[in-house]
A and B are shown apart, each in its own frame.
Chain A
Amino acid sequence: QVQLVESGGGVVQPGRSLRLSCAASGFTFSSCGMHWVRQAPGKGLEWVAVISYDENYKYYADSVKGRFTISRDKSKNTLYLQMNSLRPEDSAVYYCAKGGRDILTGGDYWGQGTLVTVSS
């Protein structure tokens, strides 16, 4: 069965960096686009970034563009989110979500999430 397990969250000071990971299993990782979506405590869902199955396309929300970088390692079936220059408003649970080969499809499976808290 499809499994997505996020890790790497924690408490970090403003301006610092953090790298999130999402270990994928149960499907052909190299054939699927992958997304990061976040949810601030008690708030709704905010899409963060996507990487296509072939890494030819990467898109970011304006709120993270230039600070966050999405990447993947097909040999490890792992998705990453490098987060630099973190701000208090980046505090949220970060979910990875499986996409399809078509970059417009996705959100069919979600991980349990990892909590990031940006605070001094």
Chain B
Amino acid sequence: DVVMTQTPLSSPVTLGQPASISCRSSQSLVHNNGNTYLSWLQQRPGQPPRLLIYKISNRFSGVPDRFSGSGAGTDFTLKISRVEAEDVGLYYCMQTTQFPWTFGQGTKVEIK
């Protein structure tokens, strides 16, 4: 199974300041078809997960442009350019390049 490792596990951020979360996979997420199936999910307290980013850097419908994804191969990053109060919650990276899908441990974003 592909192991996904996120850092940091906790990220206290001042409102309006940027935040960055890293995700590393134990093996390359580049599929034979050339696509890299790395996604980012947000889970607000008491809510189900919500897709933010797919295939490394594509924002899902309705996701604010302060969220951006980057990376390649085994190293990926989610950035929030200016954190807002509604961004508080857990963030997970997820690989769907091969089964079983696997997730990072989650990074808690909270306001300082």
Tell me if B103 and A45 are in contact (CB < 8 A): yes
Tell me if B100 and A108 are in contact (CB < 8 A): no
Residue from B48, B101, B106 within 8 A of A95 (CB atoms):
B48
Tell me if B48 and A47 are in contact (CB < 8 A): no
Against B, the Cβ 8 Å flags (1 = close, 0 = not) of A32-63 are 00010100000011110010000000010110
Against B, the Cβ 8 Å flags (1 = close, 0 = not) of A59-80 are 1011000000000000000000
Against B, the Cβ 8 Å flags (1 = close, 0 = not) of A79-120 are 000000000000000010100000011111111110000000
Q: Does B96 contact A (CB under 8 A)?
A: yes
Min CB–CB distance A48 → chain B (angstroms)? 9
Q: How far is the CA of A37 from the CA of B37 in the complex (A)?
A: 17
Do A47 and B103 form a contact, CB below 8 Å, given A104-B96, A110-B48?
Answer: yes
Interface of B is mostly: loop
Q: How far is the CA of A59 from the CA of B101 in the complex (A)?
A: 10
Against A, the Cβ 8 Å flags (1 = close, 0 = not) of B75-112 are 00000000000000000101011011111111000000
Q: With CB as the reference atom, state the residue of chain A lying closest to B106.
A: A44
- Chain B CB within 10 Å, residue with most, of A62, A105, A111: A105
Tell me if A107 and B51 are in contact (CB < 8 A): yes
Residue from A44, A61, A104, A110 within 8 A of B100 (CB atoms):
A61
Q: Does B66 contact A (CB under 8 A)?
A: no
Residue from A44, A95, A110 within 8 A of B105 (CB atoms):
A44
Do A45 and B49 form a contact, CB below 8 Å, given A105-B96, A107-B94, A108-B60?
Answer: yes
Residue from A59, A62, A107 within 8 A of B39 (CB atoms):
A107
Min CB–CB distance B99 → chain A (angstroms)? 5
Q: How far is the CA of A110 from the CA of B103 in the complex (A)?
A: 15
Min CB–CB distance B107 → chain A (angstroms)? 11
Q: Which residues of B contact A104 (CB under 8 A)?
A: 31, 35, 37, 96-97
Using a CB–CB distance below 8 Å, which chain B residues touch chain A? 31, 35, 37, 39, 41, 48-51, 54, 60, 92, 94, 96-97, 99-106
- List 12 additional A-B contacts (Cβ < 8 Å) besides A35-B101, A44-B103, A107-B39: A44-B92, A44-B104, A45-B41, A45-B92, A45-B103, A47-B100, A47-B102, A50-B99, A61-B100, A62-B100, A95-B49, A112-B48
